[in-house]
Amino acid sequence: MVGATVRAARAGDAREMARVIVRSWRETYRGVVPDRILDDPGFEDARERFWTTALTDERYRANRIAVAEHDGRIVGVAMSGPIDEPGSEWTRQLYVLYVIASELGSGTGARLFHHVIRQEEAVALWVADPNPRAQAFYRKHGFAADGAETVDDGIREIRMVRPGRPPS
């Protein structure tokens, strides 16, 4: 089986990107995120509006947005962008990295990650806690929890950071 291919996302991908995000959230966060969020009938439409904006609005120009495709279908989504914390020691934030459950362990997540994050960049991200699989993935890619955490709508997140590394 050949793995997914990764490419820059296009505006026409917004609907399928929304579908992947909603499916991934439902597969990953059931029992962590309140069901009223996961089962909201407007969830997918709201995600489609977000991705349409992210892919067409100048405010997102500095972001890198990628999709993974397998057999002609989008199976993963990633987005990084400038850090939104003034004075931060990090230069980039990983905002989104999701693949559908059938792609977990296939290398698709790593290919998406490397498409939107460069080795030399100092990066921060927020990850749901508990989410041991995602946290292990990020540790494998050089991230460590820095002790910062937040709780929003009952969802606990921890910040993980990675210093920049010289290109090899």
Q: What is the pLDDT of residues 22-59, one digit of tens each?
A: 999 999 989 888 899 999 999 999 999 999 999 999 99
Nearest to 163 by CA among 98, 99, 91, 67: 91
**pLDDT surpasses 90 at 152:** no
Which segments of the chain does DSSP mark as H helices, in order? 14-29, 35-38, 43-56, 108-116, 132-140
- 124-137 pLDDT per residue, tens: 999 999 899 999 99
Query: Strand (E) positions, 53-105?
Result: 64-70, 73-82, 92-99
Mean pLDDT of 67-88: 92
Helix (H, G, I), strand (E, B) or coil at 145: strand
Q: Model pTM?
A: 0.93
**Homologous superfamily of the 5-162 domain (CATH):** Gcn5-related N-acetyltransferase (GNAT) (3.40.630.30)
Q: How many CB atoms lie within 10 A of CB 89?
A: 11
- 121 touches 114 (CB < 8 A): no
Counting beta carbons within 10 angstroms of the beta carbon of residue 147, is it exposed (0 to 12), middle (13 to 18) or buried (19 or more)?
A: exposed
- Which pLDDT band, with edges at 50, 70 and 90, does 139 fall under? very high
